[in-house]
Each structure stands twice: as structure tokens, then as C-alpha cells.
Amino acid sequence: MIVLKLLGALALLMFGMKAMSDALQKMAGPSLRHVLGTMTTNRFTGLLTGMFVTVAVQSSAATTVMAVSFVNAGLLTLAQSISVIMGANIGTTLSAWIMSAGFSFNITNLVWPAFLIGIILIYTKKFRFFGDFLFGVSFLFFALGTLKMTGEEMDLAGNPAVVNFFASFNAGSYWSILLFLLIGTVLTVVAQSSAALMALTMVLCTSGVLPITLGLALVMGENIGTTITANVVALTANAQARRAALSHLIFNVFGVFWVLCLFYPFVKLVCGIVGIDPAAEAQDPTRLSFALATFHTLFNVTNTLILIWFIPQIEKLVTSLIKPSKSELENEFRLTYIQHGIIKTPEIAVLQAQKEIGVYSSQTKHIFDVTRSMLAPGANLQSIAEDVDRLENLSDRMEAEVGKYLSDVSDAHLSDATKAKIRFMFRQINELESIGDSCQGLSRILRRQTTGEKLTPALVKETDGLFGVISECLDNMDEVLRNPESEIGLEDRKRVKALCASLRAKNIEMSDERAYSFAVSTMFNDIVNEVDDLSGFIQNVEQARRGGKVS
């Protein structure tokens, strides 16, 4: 039962950290996005930004994933993300101090009123996220208190088997230090929580069975293991995002390397700061927990002070190690800003999806431009029509990919405003795909000329003029997607409808006068009707982006 209580307390600790982090991100998601996007003008502001965000959300993994996501979305440069990640490493040291405080005095009695207030706030719509935060904090402190009591109940120092096991490792041997460093790395990767392993390390050290030097080796392993999360997440991201994640690993591995070279003097320095003797058998448990937190802080702060001057060199190194794939070098219909492996913060996911829709719009405009090239003298209609078919198929795939991404994001706990944004985004991609369908329809109409009568030069000129107006409308649509506050394009639909009505009337008049055959007249009328529908799809995209009703 004691072992189950220990494991359960660790699980509760991880849940509390996650709940607290998620609640803080929901409360401050847009603000954090703005901070990360604007307060990284140089390496030092990037460092402070990473510290601030990590302290705010109490998760270096969340901050690192945010940074990787922003690189993937093109909102941060690689150099900026490296400085943010360095700051995240410093900000995460606050978690160790919170845990050391939890092992210093009994704080479990404080969680009961916090639970009561939290549940009341959760049932109020306005403050439910703050209630979630209180619940997360309460679970965190309750878990710390339980861990402390469980450690005392286990009486590990009085268990000869446990004492002999840890005594079999020579705390003065580098081999033992390296072994515990490896154990710390593996356990952090498995648990996906450096906080859980830090708490377990404190239990072992404060119970007197694990020497402080081996406990500090576990802490070093945690610093390597915690970098794996971002690297796993970035596996499906673009090259820049993978480089940002790799830089985090390089940063922490370098820190571990130089600390290992100076390990025992560094341990002596840390123990001297908190007032303990690393060689002594009997230690004050409170001071031991503070020693672990102090080591974690000094490790990350010193490592940052060293490497912050070498960000350009780190950038060059990761750039040389990770090359973009062939598909990433292609410009046609590829996901530029979103990857299904990166959905950690809904605010970032929504922003990435909207930017991806902007790319989708530009690529849809490319389909139209290819279709319009069928009007050029001597154009190979069959070949161009096949290109349009291929591009439209790619457009369908892109709609499916963006739609799947939005569906995945929708599974998260979202605010009503974010849910509304996602609904409008679904409409945007649906209408963009319809524009692609219209372009394919136009290409098929124009391809009829290969097996039948051709448009007269006058009709080709009229059609090209109509296509020119649609091209302007598509440019306006791109602008609205970038800036929904823009008033551009509000009259485009009326303009196109009036032009189409005029061309239909003129077509009837010219057909009656036998200026061209009925087949040519029908072909031109089909073109005008398809363009009329296409302009409606453009208007729907703009209205959806502006947050209005889609007709």
C-alpha cells in the first residue's frame, strides 16, 4: 500500500502540474502568444520572455513546445526560439523551489479550502479557468504533502535492503554519477515529467537513503530527459522547428558535460550555499531539498550565462545537422504552418490554422491563374486542363489536412470565442475548395474547344476581361484573410454579378444575330455562370473570415 501511495502521489503530482499549466494557458493564451510573438527582439528579451512564460504556465515543456510551434508557424526565427528556450530552462527552476517548500513544511491543510473555492469557481462560467487553476495547485500541494508523509512512512533509512542497494553505489565514483544521470534521463522520458522525478529524488534524498551527490546526478538526467518532449513533438514539424527542438537538447547536454567536468567542486559549492556537508551521513531533510533546488537553478542559470553569447553558433550547428526534406523544398500545396504533431496550446493551433488558410488561399489563386492561361493563343488546352485537375486534387487533400487539424484542435477544451473561430475556419476551407472546383469546371468548359467549336477572338477577350476581374477579387480575398478588418472587396460580388448579367444579355443578343454558333454561345454562357458561382464562393470566404454569416 505504501508503494501504491507513492506511485499514486506521483501521478497526482503530474496531474496537478498539468491541470495548473493548462488552466494558466487558457487564461493567458492570447497574452502569451502576443508576448512570445513580440517580445523577442534580441537574445536577452527572448531569454526574459521564456522565463516569464514558463513561470506563468509552470511548464518548461509547454514553453518549449510553444517556441517550436512558433518557429514552425514562421512567427519566431530560429535564433529567437533558442533564446526563449534558454529562458524556459531558468523559469522551470521555480517548480523545484515549490517542491522543496512542500517538503519543508506541512501544506496539505491549505488545500481543502482551495478545493472548495475551486469547485465553486468551476461552476461559474466567468471564472471556471481560475477554478481549474486552483484545483491544479491543490492537487500539486496535496501530492507533495502525501509524498513527504509517504517517505516518512516508508522509513527507507531503516530498511537494510534499500540502504544496502544505494550504498552499493560509490558516490565518489564518476561511473555511479554517470549511471544515475542515465537513470534520471530515462525515467524523465518515460514519465514525461521532470517534476515527478524531482519529487521522487527529494523523497529519496530527504529519507536519507540516497546520497546528495547521486540525487544531483538524477537532477542532471532530468535536464536531458525533459528535452525529449519537444524533440518528439517536432518530428512531424518542418526543418526549422526540428532545429529549435534540437537546440534545446544541445543546450542541456552541453550543460551536463561541463558540470560533469567540475562535478564535485560544483556540488561542494551548492552544498556550501545551503549549509550542508555532502559527505556527512546525517543531513537536515529541509536543507537537502533546498540543495536539489539550488543545484537545478545554478545549473540552468550558469549554463545560460555561458551559452547566450553563442546563439548564432548554435543556430549554425543545428542548421548544418538538420536539412530540409525534398518535400519541404517544394512550394506546391504543402502544409506550411501546421503539423498534426504540434497541438499543445489551442491558441497557437488556431493561429497556425488561420495562417495555413492564407497559404491555401494563395495556392487556390494559383489554380485560377493556371486555368486562365488556357485563354492564351496557342495554349495546349488538354495539358493545362490536366494540370488544373492535378492541382485541384492537391487542393482537396489540403482541405482534408487542414480540416483534420481543426477537428483535432476542436477536441481540446476551448473557449466559446475560439470555438466560433474554428467554425468559421471550417467554412473558409470549404469555400476555398469550392473555388478550386469552379476552376476545374472552367478548365473543362474551355477544354471543349479541343473537340468542338472554339470561342471567337471577341469572346476570348470578354472571357479574359471577366477572369481579370475575378483575379482582382481573389487578391482582395487574400487581403481579407490577412486582415479581416479591411473593407476591401465588399462590393466585389455586386460588381461580378452585374458584369455577368451584362455578358449574358450580350451573349443572347450576339447569338440571335448568328455571330457564332449555338454551341459556342452555350460554352460562353457556361463560363459566365461558373464565374458567377466562383465569385459567390469568394464572398463566402471573406464573410467567414470577418466572422459574419456565410450565404
What is the domain-level CATH number for residue 368? 1.20.58.220
Domain shared by 103 and 248, yes or no? yes
Burial class, 459, CB count within 10 angstroms (exposed 0-12 / middle 13-18 / buried 19+): buried
- Check residues 459 and 53 and name the one with the higher pLDDT: 459
Query: Poorest-confidence range of 253-267, 285-299, 381-395, 423-437?
Result: 285-299
Average pLDDT, the chain: 78
State residue 220's pLDDT score: 85
Domain shared by 98 and 214, yes or no? yes
**Residue at which a domain ends, from 321, 354, 380:** 321
Domain shared by 473 and 386, yes or no? yes
State residue 134's pLDDT score: 75
> How does residue 550 score in pLDDT terms, banded at 50, 70 and 90?
very low
pLDDT of residue 527 exceeding 90:
yes
| Average pLDDT of span 476-483 | 90
| Average pLDDT of span 232-248 | 74
> Do the beta carbons of residue 473 and residue 538 sit within 8 Å?
yes
State residue 513's pLDDT score: 87
Q: Which domain holds residue 416?
A: 346-545
Most confident stretch, 15-24, 30-39, 82-91, 321-330: 82-91
Domain shared by 76 and 122, yes or no? yes
Query: Poorest-confidence range of 9-13, 296-300, 316-320?
Result: 9-13
pLDDT of residue 328 exceeding 70:
no
| Average pLDDT of span 390-410 | 84
Structural domain includes residue 466: yes
Angle between helices 416-447 and 518-545 (to 10 degrees): 170
d(CA 46, CA 37): 10
Domain shared by 301 and 376, yes or no? no
Structural domain includes residue 83: yes
- Check residues 196 and 174 and name the one with the higher pLDDT: 174
Question: How many structural domains comprise the chain?
Answer: 2
Helix (H, G, I), strand (E, B) or coil at 129: helix
pLDDT of residue 172 exceeding 50:
yes
pLDDT of residue 342 exceeding 70:
no
State residue 432's pLDDT score: 93
The 3 state secondary structure assigned to 376-388 is: CCCCCHHHHHHHH
Burial class, 352, CB count within 10 angstroms (exposed 0-12 / middle 13-18 / buried 19+): buried
Residues in CB range of 50: below 8 A, 6 or more apart: 63, 67, 83, 84, 85, 86, 87, 88, 89, 90, 91
State residue 499's pLDDT score: 93
28 alpha carbon, distance to own chain's centre: 15
Structural domain includes residue 336: no
Q: How far apart are the first and last CA of the chain?
A: 63
Structural domain includes residue 252: yes
Query: Poorest-confidence range of 34-43, 125-134, 176-185?
Result: 34-43
Structural domain includes residue 23: yes
pLDDT of residue 440 exceeding 90:
yes
Domain shared by 224 and 368, yes or no? no
DSSP annotation string for 332-392? SS--SS--TT--S-HHHHHHHHHHHHHHHHHHHHHHHHHHHGGGSTT--HHHHHHHHHHHH
State residue 538's pLDDT score: 93
> How does residue 13 score in pLDDT terms, banded at 50, 70 and 90?
low
Domain shared by 132 and 254, yes or no? yes
Domain shared by 153 and 248, yes or no? yes
State residue 330's pLDDT score: 43
d(CA 135, CA 12): 11
**Residue at which a domain ends, from 287, 321, 355:** 321
> Do the beta carbons of residue 481 and residue 545 sit within 8 Å?
yes
Structural domain includes residue 432: yes
pLDDT of residue 477 exceeding 70:
yes
Nearest by Cα to 194 from 287, 51, 288, 64: 64
Structural domain includes residue 467: yes
Query: Poorest-confidence range of 45-49, 62-66, 160-164, 272-276?
Result: 160-164
Domain shared by 510 and 438, yes or no? yes
> How does residue 442 score in pLDDT terms, banded at 50, 70 and 90?
very high
**Residue at which a domain ends, from 256, 287, 321:** 321
| Average pLDDT of span 370-388 | 89
9 alpha carbon, distance to own chain's centre: 29
d(CA 411, CA 408): 5
Query: Poorest-confidence range of 155-164, 169-178, 372-381, 477-486?
Result: 155-164
Look-up of cell digits 474551355: 446
Q: In 471-490, which positions are buried (b, 16+ CB within 10 angstroms) versus exposed (e)?
A: eebbebbbebbeeeeeeebe
Look-up of cell digits 500541494: 141
d(CA 445, CA 374): 11
> Do the beta carbons of residue 276 and residue 293 sit within 8 Å?
no
Structural domain includes residue 405: yes
Domain shared by 316 and 350, yes or no? no
- Predicted structure pTM score: 0.52
pLDDT of residue 68 exceeding 80:
no
pLDDT of residue 162 exceeding 70:
no
pLDDT of residue 8 exceeding 80:
no
State residue 20's pLDDT score: 62
d(CA 440, CA 90): 54
Domain shared by 302 and 380, yes or no? no
- Check residues 226 and 281 and name the one with the higher pLDDT: 226
State residue 190's pLDDT score: 67
Domain shared by 367 and 316, yes or no? no
> Do the beta carbons of residue 174 and residue 267 sit within 8 Å?
no
